[in-house]
Every structure is written in C-alpha cells, then in structure tokens.
Amino acid sequence: MPAVLSNADFNTELLNFLQASPTAFHATQTMAAQLLQAGFTRLREIDSWQLVPGQRYFLTRNDSSLIAFIYGKTPLLDSGVRMLGAHTDSPCLKVKPRAELNRRGYYQLGVEVYGGALLAPWFDRDLSMAGRVSYRDLDDHILSALVDFKQPVAIVPSLAIHLDREVNNARSINPQKDIVPLLLQLPAEEAAAPDFRQILSAQLQKEHPTVKVGQLLDYEISLYDTQAPALLGLHHDFIASARLDNLLSCFIGLKSLLEANDEVSSLLICTDHEEVGSASCCGAKGPMLQQFLERLMPDVDTRVRVIEKSLMVSADNAHGLHPNFMDKHDENHGPLLNRGPVIKVNANQRYATTSETSAFFRLLADKAEVPVQTFVARTDMGCGSTIGPVVASEVGVKTIDVGVPTFGMHSIREVAGARDAWFLYRIGVELFQYRKAPVALLSLG
Ligand SMILES: [Zn+2]
C-alpha cells in the first residue's frame, strides 16, 4: 500500500493526470493503467466472473467509464461497500461527422458543443484534438483506438474589435457560426478539402504503427487547449487547468482507492456523459453500477441489505465564491478556495445529501483533520446537479454530494485551490479505510 501523498506530490501527479487525459477516453485509459500497475485485475463484462474476497478488480465500459473494486475480506453484509463516484467527461467542442469545410481556402471543421461549455474562453487558444477512432482492419474486424495530436493544430480566432465595436457591451456567441476552428490554409481557394478521416487514419498509424488499418470508419474527436495545467499565483495558491470538472475528482477517487486495504469493500465509479444528463449505456443513469452489484451479489435479499449499509460519496466540483461576483452566492454559503471540500445541499434533491450522509462525511473529515464547507444555491437562483441524485435513485444507495470549490466551472481553463483536492483525497483515504459499515443498520436506533 503506497504512503499517503504529500500535498506537493499529490498536486504534481494531479497536473500530470490532467495533461495525460484530454478526453474521457484518455482519462479512463490513464486510470486503467494506474490500476493495472497497482495490481488490479481487469474484468471484461463479456466474460463470466468468479470474484474472490481479498482481490482487486476493475472494468471499463465504452472505453470512457470505469468501475474499480476492492473486494474486502470482511463479509459484505457486515461491512457494506464504501463508494466514491465522479464523472470523466467535460464540456468541449466535438467534431461533426462530415466536418470538412473549405471557405476561401481556409480548411475548417464543423463542431458541436458538448455539454454546457462556456464558449468565450475557446477563442484564441492553441487547440489540439484527441479522442477515439473506430476502424476496419484487413480482416473486417471493427476495432477502436485512441489518438491525441498533442500539438496545437487548430484555433478559433476572435473577430477584431474594429469589426464589432459593441463586443465588450453586448456579445453573444453563435455556436454554429462563430466557433468553427481553423486548421489549415489550402494551396488554392478551390482546392478540395482534405478528408478528415484520412487525417485521422494517418494519425492513428503514426501513434499505433503496428495497427493494420483497412479503413477508418468513424470517430469521436474533441478539441482541447494545449496549455499545460499549472500551479498559479504569487504563492502557488491555485491550480489552473481544463477539465478540473471533473477529472480532479476522478483523480482523488483513484488515489484514495489505491491507499485502501483489503479488509473492507471499496468501489470507485467514474462515468461518462454527466455533462449531458448521464443517460447512456455507460452513464450514471445507465445500468453499469447496478449490473456490477448484481453480479457481485446475485441474491436480491443480500444485495438490498448490503446497499442499505453502504454509502456513496459523489464528488463533483462546487462553485467557489468569486471575489468579483460576490452576490452570486447566499451570504452564508459562499465556499472559499483552499478552505476545504464543500458539502452540497439542495432541498429539491438536485443534490442527494441528507443529514445522515453529511454527518458521516463530517466524521471522516474530522478523522482526516480536514476543514469542510457547505454550499446551497441562492434561493432565487437555480441549482446545478451531478451524478449523486442519479446514482441514489438508480441504485438506492445513500449518497452525499461533495466537491472542491472552483472558479469558472465549464471554462476551458478552470481554477481550483492548491489545497482542496488534497484535502478531499485525505477524506477519500479515510472513507476507504473506514472499518465499520458506513450506515448503521438501525440508523434511528
Ligand atoms: Zn461536473
């Protein structure tokens, strides 16, 4: 079992993880590699399983969602399962199926907006592309692989202020028209636009030289900012990066799980498609977790009893109180960066937190000697949501929604405190080492 990481080491590894994970596919691949290295056995959902107490397992679905599980030696009915959930996806621009555009010799790619992206920060960035490609090999098998161009290969240039004098007062962004990235200038205005699939095929061959590509059939490619994640501020108080929502929580979950012993059962679930509602075969609204629990505990009576003793910590970032926009928070519930993870509460069940689950979380924070804060949205404003209420309603597990406070959620460059992710990681370590069942059988005793 590795030692609990220092704040500095944790942040260094977090920045590396963010850099290595430009898409949900890459995040899943990066986590899978670390789990394999830590001795976890890869399960395939297509196989029959013989799960053995004391062993460690993981599986992926759609290459973009992951469950990792430590099957504790203590009987499940005694210990319950301590679970931590996060999501692998982030808002971004995704390349359309017939993307190629030639406009006066400028080669551009049509894009869709994935999730609730803040669009303004996408202008004037050095963008690259990454994702999954599916191809036919020479024997007509359909196979998939990940690609990552890594280099800056595209940009969405701003319109000069001279051509729109009102831009600083009244700017709106048309996602069909205004954010089409530019990749290339063709030799002549009337030249044919290069086939994007051929560009991807060449990239696939470059990254995977042994692969025999018959034909590149389709792709899920998104654009991302090549600016590296960084510690920032005069005293390095902040972390700035793309995809802090929610790869930061995936990384916290992963690192916490890697500290866990095999006495009690622990589970990490990181799912795709949260930013678009989680309804997919591999999303939190899909059956992935439920099916895993059914295969772990085929007997319904046992399964329901174990779930009753279990608890899910759903980790997703929270809105920190922004010093330029103080009135956007309730006066008593504006979480500060570097003052600890946030317990998220919403009377209308946009967050799944209950007094019982938040009490347990506070107990863990106390043991980890970590401060906690609370967030509730202004009563006159709407409230976001996350996988917590989804998992709670699909599986029936008691759940708490928590997260690290950040600025600029869904921007191409979000900001978090340099201490909060580490704080939440320490609580995650406590969660996965907690010996008793998280929820007592007779909670009203
Ligand atoms: Zn999120």
Q: How far is the CA of 90 from the centre of ligand 1 (A)?
A: 7
Q: How far is the CA of 279 from the centre of ligand 1 (A)?
A: 15
Q: How far is the CA of 156 from the centre of ligand 1 (A)?
A: 25
pLDDT at 443: 52
pLDDT at 444 > cutoff 80: no
pLDDT at 156 > cutoff 60: yes
pLDDT at 2: 59
Q: How far is the CA of 267 from the centre of ligand 1 (A)?
A: 19
User: Strand pairing partners for 182?
Assistant: 108, 155
Higher pLDDT, 3 or 381: 381
Q: What angle separates helix 420-433 from helix 244-259, to the nearest 10 degrees?
A: 40
Q: How far is the CA of 308 from the centre of ligand 1 (A)?
A: 26
Q: How far is the CA of 251 from the centre of ligand 1 (A)?
A: 13
Asked which of 82-91, 230-239, 244-253, 431-440 is least confident by mean pLDDT, the reply is 431-440
Q: How far is the CA of 329 from the centre of ligand 1 (A)?
A: 18
pLDDT at 445: 44
User: What's the average model confidence in pLDDT over 151-168?
Assistant: 96
**Contact between residue 277 and residue 271 where contact means Cβ atoms under 8 Å apart:** no
Q: How far is the CA of 115 from the centre of ligand 1 (A)?
A: 10
Q: Phi/psi zone of residue 49: left (φ > 0), alpha (ψ -120 to 50 degrees), beta?
A: beta
Q: How far is the CA of 246 from the centre of ligand 1 (A)?
A: 5
Q: How far apart are CA 444 and CA 441, in angstroms?
A: 9
Q: How far is the CA of 274 from the centre of ligand 1 (A)?
A: 7
What proportion of the chain, given as a percentage, has pLDDT over 70? Answer: 98
- Beta strands per DSSP E along 243-397: 265-271, 311-315, 318-319, 342-344, 373-375
Q: How far apart are CA 322 and CA 325, in angstroms?
A: 5
Q: How far apart are CA 150 and CA 225, in angstroms?
A: 10
pLDDT at 437: 86
For residue range 426-435, list pLDDT tens digits in order: 999 999 999 8
Q: How far is the CA of 87 from the centre of ligand 1 (A)?
A: 7
Q: Phi/psi zone of residue 140: left (φ > 0), alpha (ψ -120 to 50 degrees), beta?
A: left
pLDDT at 442 > cutoff 60: no
Q: What is the DSSP letter of 275?
A: G
Q: How far apart are CA 155 and CA 147, in angstroms?
A: 19
**Contact between residue 84 and residue 31 where contact means Cβ atoms under 8 Å apart:** no
Name the maximum alpha-carbon separation found in the chain.
Answer: 79
Q: How far is the CA of 166 from the centre of ligand 1 (A)?
A: 33
For residue range 303-362, list pLDDT tens digits in order: 999 999 999 999 999 999 999 999 999 999 999 999 999 999 999 999 999 999 999 999
- Over its C-alpha atoms, the chain yields an Rg (Å, rounded) of 23
User: What's the average model confidence in pLDDT over 52-71?
Assistant: 98
Q: How far apart are CA 119 and CA 279, in angstroms?
A: 24
Q: How far is the CA of 385 from the centre of ligand 1 (A)?
A: 8
Cβ count within 10 A of residue 202:
14
User: What's the average model confidence in pLDDT over 237-261?
Assistant: 97
Q: Which residues of 210-222 are buried (b: 16+ CB within 10 A; e: fewer)?
A: eeebeebeebbbb
Q: How far apart are CA 236 and CA 165, in angstroms?
A: 37
152 Cβ contact partners less than 8 Å away, ≥ 6 residues apart: 126, 127, 128, 226
Q: How far is the CA of 384 from the centre of ligand 1 (A)?
A: 9
> Tokens standing for 127?
């963008």
In the sheet with 213-225, reading across from the earlier edge strand, the strands are 142-148, 127-137, 213-225, 92-103, 106-114, 182-185
pLDDT at 9: 97
What proportion of the chain, given as a percentage, has pLDDT over 90? Answer: 92
Q: How far apart are CA 345 and CA 374, in angstroms?
A: 7
User: What's the average model confidence in pLDDT over 150-160?
Assistant: 97
For residue range 128-146, list pLDDT tens digits in order: 999 999 999 999 999 999 9
State whether residue 399 is helix, strand or coil: strand
Q: How far is the CA of 398 from the centre of ligand 1 (A)?
A: 20
Confirm whether pTM is higher than 0.85: yes
Q: How far is the CA of 26 from the centre of ligand 1 (A)?
A: 17
HSE, side-chain direction, 13 A CA sphere, residue 269:
29
